[in-house]
């Protein structure tokens, strides 16, 4: 959306931090602090440049902060999709066997550090401006705190990405002067400190409502605590965000009434559920301002774009939306059993007869996944095979959540349409479920259940309907009513709700790793894929504990810094 000033307006301010060969070689201080940048407008423009990195690096499809590949593909929400030869460098990543020389790995690493460098540049410019009376008079104390808070928020975000994807990476801040930096600093205290400063100093309301505010910082601070198992520290922060938090536009946080409204314009734009989102806009004359991270993730062969068939939802994810007679998920893991797995059209051509599954389902399925015989937004019923590039590689399902509807404005200035729909890095449902997790781990099981049920209450409404007005499936969702009396019961329910509610939003793999269950869950996922005849993608694939949790530092960065500087 247009509510952070369009990125391209300020590109002149950002020449000094444009693409560099060596991101971790710290630039000379003088090159960062050009006199023309030490102005109120220069600092603001540099900050906008730090926000712009959220969308990724041009058309390097996996570099943005959506983390659709690093979080959702690796976590089992979806497959790489398309076919084996398309974007072939991603096959090894999907197989938990990434080579250090992988070009997309390098792009993600460097893009994250570009965000860090740009945030550091804002802080360096602020420091210089505070010593210049001519500049200081143009910046109030509130302005300085806001600019510093936003810069530290963004730096915290980019380091959070680096931490959860690569684990130990070099730490650089605005005061770093060494030309080469080792990866021997614990990033968590640094990340916490950045979000804590932002939480303490950012305003609740911003003039540009796409900016980070106090409550977005609070949500991210709570998330940082959660990732470290600091439940006692996380709880009061989440309590405050839930009770008093507002969007940057001043609207109290709440769940949107209908789940589907989160994913298409205009209702997806900076609504009451949006805590922090990647801002996207079309119609500016510059396609880079749109949502470039999802350019590959449309059905193949028809519908909205015709290309390219990536991010195909997995059998495991789709089956997870099965509900029992009480409208509850199958927490015992039996959803992949033959008796419970959804009926699908694998191996069937679009001309072959097919009747969709008639068992109980959570309606969030059909807002998240394109499946045969069910309306695909307003593009008509999904035809199955005709919209799938290669079923034996990526299965029979198509991405849907972030695909635009017919009639929405898109940017056609490149080879595939781009939407102006924002992407939620954190939304309020995520906050509720993170809070539920903290409550469960602290033994407050009934409070955890209340928070989960708040999310499930919204899921009960808004099922997909056929053209004639009848429900597209047998939707059955209800609330948990039995008492949660032990940690295991609460954990399983909270964790499964995250899987259902946040599928395809870049969270799942990181959740599995921090919970310590990645080996068990993902090797079972691989086995299920092989049972469903996806051997082209999954033969020989294995999640190896102690290795597969994190991506390797790119070889090119090791070559630059020297292997002695990486532990």
HSE (side-chain half, CA atoms, 13 Å) at 122: 28
Q: Among 437, 457, 459, which Cα is nearest to 448's? A: 437
CB atoms within 10 A of CB 15: 10
HSE-CB of 69 using CA atoms within 13 angstroms: 28
For the cut 50, the answer to whether the pLDDT of residue 529 exceeds it is yes
Quick: pLDDT tens for 98-141: 999 999 999 999 999 999 999 999 999 999 988 887 777 888 99
> What is the enclosing helix (H) or strand (E) of 220?
helix 214-227
pLDDT exceeding 70 applies to what percent of the chain? 93
> How far apart are the C-alpha atoms of 566 and 544, rounded to whole Å?
22
pLDDT at 566 over 80: no
Which secondary-structure segment (H or E) carries 118? helix 103-130
Q: Which of 27-36, 180-189, 222-231, 305-314 has the highest mean pLDDT?
A: 222-231
> Count of CB atoms within 10 A of residue 134's CB?
9
User: With contact defined as beta carbons under 8 Å apart, do 499 and 508 qualify?
Assistant: yes
User: How far out from the chain centre does Cα 35 lie?
Assistant: 37
Percent of the chain beyond pLDDT 90? 77
Cβ 500 vs Cβ 364: under 8 Å = yes
pLDDT digits (tens, 9 = 90+) for 538-547: 999 999 999 9
CATH topology of domain 7-202+549-565: 1.25.40
Query: CA 325 to CA 476: how far, in whole Å?
Result: 8
Q: Quick one: average pLDDT of 329-351?
A: 97
Strands 310-313 and 360-361: unpaired
- pLDDT by residue (tens digit) across 469-497? 999 999 999 999 999 999 999 999 999 99
Does residue 33 carry a pLDDT above 70? no
* pLDDT, averaged across the chain: 91
Give the pair of three-digit tokens for residue 468. Answer: 């004639």
Sign of the alpha-carbon torsion through 164, 166, 167, 169 = negative
Are 167 and 125 in contact, with CB atoms under 8 Å apart? no
Coil, strand or helix at 474: strand
Question: What are the sequence ranges of the domains in the chain?
Answer: 7-202+549-565
Asked if 483 contacts 284 with a C-beta cutoff of 8 angstroms, the reply is no
Residue 65 to residues 112, 425, 469, 509: CA-CA distances in angstroms?
8, 8, 38, 14
Tokens 């008079």: give the residue.
137
* Res 1 pLDDT > 50: no
Look up the pTM and report it.
0.93
């Amino acid at each position: 959306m247009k509510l952070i000033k369009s990125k391209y307006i300020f590109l002149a301010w950002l020449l000094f931090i444009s693409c560099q060969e060596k991101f971790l070689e710290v630039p000379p201080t003088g090159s960062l602090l050009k006199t023309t940048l030490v102005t109120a407008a220069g600092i603001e423009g540099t900050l906008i440049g730090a926000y712009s990195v959220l969308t990724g690096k041009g058309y390097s499809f996996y570099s943005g902060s959506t983390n659709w590949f690093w979080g959702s593909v690796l976590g089992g929400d979806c497959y790489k999709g398309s076919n084996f030869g398309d974007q072939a460098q991603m096959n090894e990543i999907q197989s938990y066997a990434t080579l250090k020389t992988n070009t997309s790995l390098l792009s993600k690493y460097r893009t994250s550090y570009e965000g860090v460098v740009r945030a550091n540049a804002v802080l360096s410019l602020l420091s210089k401006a505070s010593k210049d009376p001519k500049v200081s008079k143009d910046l109030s104390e509130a302005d300085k705190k806001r600019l510093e808070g936003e810069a530290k928020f963004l730096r915290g975000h980019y380091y959070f990405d680096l931490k959860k994807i690569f684990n130990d990476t070099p730490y650089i801040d605005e005061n770093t002067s060494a030309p080469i930096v080792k990866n021997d600093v614990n990033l968590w205290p640094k990340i916490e400190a950045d979000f804590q400063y932002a939480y303490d100093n950012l305003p609740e309301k911003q003039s540009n409502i796409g900016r980070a505010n106090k409550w977005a910082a609070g949500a991210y601070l709570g998330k940082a605590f959660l990732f470290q198992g600091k439940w006692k520290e996380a709880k009061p922060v989440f309590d405050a965000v839930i009770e008093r938090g507002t969007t940057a536009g001043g609207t109290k946080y709440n769940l949107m009434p209908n789940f589907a409204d989160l994913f298409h314009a205009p209702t997806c734009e900076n609504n009451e559920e949006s805590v922090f989102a990647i801002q996207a806009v079309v119609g500016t004359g510059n396609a880079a301002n749109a949502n470039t991270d999802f350019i590959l993730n449309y059905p193949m062969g028809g519908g909205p774009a015709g290309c390219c068939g990536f991010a195909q939802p997995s059998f495991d994810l789709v089956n997870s939306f099965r509900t029992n007679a009480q409208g509850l998920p199958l927490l015992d893991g039996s959803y992949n059993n033959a008796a419970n797995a959804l009926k699908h059209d694998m191996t069937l051509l679009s001309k072959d007869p097919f009747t969709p599954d008639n068992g109980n389902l959570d309606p969030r399925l059909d807002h998240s996944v394109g499946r045969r015989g069910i309306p695909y937004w307003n593009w008509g019923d999904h035809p199955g095979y005709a919209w799938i590039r290669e079923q034996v590689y990526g299965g029979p399902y198509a991405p849907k959540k972030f695909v635009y509807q017919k009639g929405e404005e898109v940017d056609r200035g490149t080879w595939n349409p781009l939407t102006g729909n924002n992407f939620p890095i954190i939304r309020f449902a995520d906050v509720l479920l993170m809070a539920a997790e903290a409550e469960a781990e602290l033994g407050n099981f009934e409070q955890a259940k209340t928070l989960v049920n708040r999310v499930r209450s919204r899921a009960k409404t808004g099922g997909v309907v056929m053209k004639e007005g009848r429900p597209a499936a047998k939707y059955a969702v209800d609330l948990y009513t039995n008492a949660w009396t032990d940690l295991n019961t609460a954990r399983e329910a909270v964790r499964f709700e995250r899987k259902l509610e946040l599928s395809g939003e870049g969270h799942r793999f990181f959740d599995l790793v921090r919970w310590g269950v990645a080996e068990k869950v993902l090797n079972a996922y691989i086995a299920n894929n092989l049972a469903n005849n996806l051997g082209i993608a999954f033969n020989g694939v294995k999640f190896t504990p102690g290795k597969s949790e994190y991506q390797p530092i790119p070889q090119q960065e090791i070559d630059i810094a020297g292997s002695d500087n990486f532990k």
